[in-house]
């Protein structure tokens, strides 16, 4: 094409303008539709679904707020053990989740899977399964299976962690540099040695980062496990709520906040230390 190309014909110019106009109309239609959809959602969920009778007006809201703000500090010593339990639940759940993740990641990484037609789809399915079931549902299942207490919470946290950890690990395995792996095969290394010397050093930083991240999230998850009877701070929260002790509820919420902040700080430094 040269600079002195044929001038844009009148027809081409008109077509261009028409095209532009059409695009603008389309855009406006899209915006209008979105707004209508939003309005409908708002109407249906808030205006229609809310029990307006129970809304006590500004006075009611203020009263409730006041009840929550009168923090019941006498509860504080009784929170220490549940808080530790929550932390333990997160930690053990993460560790157990890592253990479960090992085979899942191995199955679900295309380049190391023992069988492309059976184990690979199985691994991928387990990853999706773990993540598509909410931790509370996992906890309900395990409370049903092993009874109340911290154990079902640990198991639930573990199951919920498998998806993320194994998915990231499998992806890291798929993205490794194959050259060192080849070298270990060439010296006569067996399957385990190839993995341990050729693959693990390459994926270790990613995995450790992921585990720390998951542990951080698992503190949040463990904090609500008690709502379904699986121990920890959530259980205290549930009891205070049942006793209408709003001051106690607030204290538990504060305790959860502190716990999460502690987790944040620890994981920040842990991540710095490894990476």
Residues forming the site for another protein (CB under 8 A): 177, 179-180, 182-190, 192-193, 196-198, 201-202, 204-205
Which of 224, 227, 228, 230 has its CA nearest to residue 256? 224
| Nearer to another protein (CB atom), residue 183 or residue 265 | 183
Query: From the CA atom positions of the chain, what is the Rg in Å?
Result: 28
| Nearer to another protein (CB atom), residue 47 or residue 187 | 187
| Nearer to another protein (CB atom), residue 202 or residue 245 | 202
> At a CB cut-off of 8 Å and minimum separation 6, what does 254 contact?
71
Instruction: Give the tokens for residue 68.
Output: 């929550």
In angstroms, the CA 272 to CA 264 distance is 12
Do 93 and 218 touch, CB atoms closer than 8 A? Answer: yes
In angstroms, the CA 226 to CA 235 distance is 4
Continuous H helices in the chain: 10-42, 57-69, 76-108, 119-132, 135-146, 150-174, 178-186, 191-193, 200-225, 233-242, 246-274
Nearest-approach distance from CB 190 to another protein, in angstroms: 6
| Nearer to another protein (CB atom), residue 43 or residue 196 | 196
CA dihedral 169, 171, 174, 178 (to 10 degrees): -60
Nearest-approach distance from CB 202 to another protein, in angstroms: 7
Nearest-approach distance from CB 171 to another protein, in angstroms: 18
| Nearer to another protein (CB atom), residue 197 or residue 238 | 197
Nearest-approach distance from CB 102 to another protein, in angstroms: 14
Query: In terms of C-beta density within 10 A (0-12 exposed, 13-18 middle, 19 or more buried), how is residue 41 classed?
Result: exposed
In angstroms, the CA 243 to CA 263 distance is 29
Nearest-approach distance from CB 193 to another protein, in angstroms: 5
| Nearer to another protein (CB atom), residue 121 or residue 189 | 189
In angstroms, the CA 198 to CA 114 distance is 17
| Nearer to another protein (CB atom), residue 119 or residue 197 | 197
């Amino acid at each position: 094409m040269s600079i002195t190309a044929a001038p844009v014909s009148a027809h081409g110019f008109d077509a261009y303008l028409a095209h532009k106009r059409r695009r603008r109309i389309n855009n406006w239609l899209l915006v209008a539709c979105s707004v209508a959809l939003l309005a409908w959602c708002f109407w249906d969920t808030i205006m229609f679904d809310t029990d307006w009778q129970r809304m006590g007006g500004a006075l009611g809201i203020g009263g409730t707020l006041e009840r929550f703000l009168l923090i019941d500090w006498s509860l504080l010593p009784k929170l220490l053990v549940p808080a530790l339990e929550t932390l333990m639940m997160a930690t053990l759940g993460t560790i157990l989740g890592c253990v479960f993740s090992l085979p899942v990641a191995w199955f679900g990484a295309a380049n190391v899977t023992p069988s492309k037609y059976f184990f690979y789809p199985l691994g991928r399915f387990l990853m999706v399964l773990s993540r598509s079931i909410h931790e509370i549902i996992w906890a309900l299942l395990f409370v049903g299976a092993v009874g109340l207490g911290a154990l079902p919470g640990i198991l639930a946290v573990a199951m919920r962690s498998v998806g993320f950890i194994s998915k990231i690990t499998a992806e890291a395995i798929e993205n490794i540099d194959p050259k060192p792996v080849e070298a270990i095969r060439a010296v006569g290394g067996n399957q385990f040695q190839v993995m341990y010397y050729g693959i693990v050093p390459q994926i270790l930083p990613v995995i450790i980062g992921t585990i720390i991240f998951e542990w951080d999230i698992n503190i949040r998850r463990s904090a609500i496990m008690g709502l379904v009877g699986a121990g920890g701070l959530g259980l205290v929260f549930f009891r205070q709520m049942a006793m209408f002790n709003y001051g106690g509820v607030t204290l538990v919420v504060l305790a959860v906040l502190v716990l999460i902040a502690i987790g944040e700080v620890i994981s920040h430094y842990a991540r710095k230390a490894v990476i």
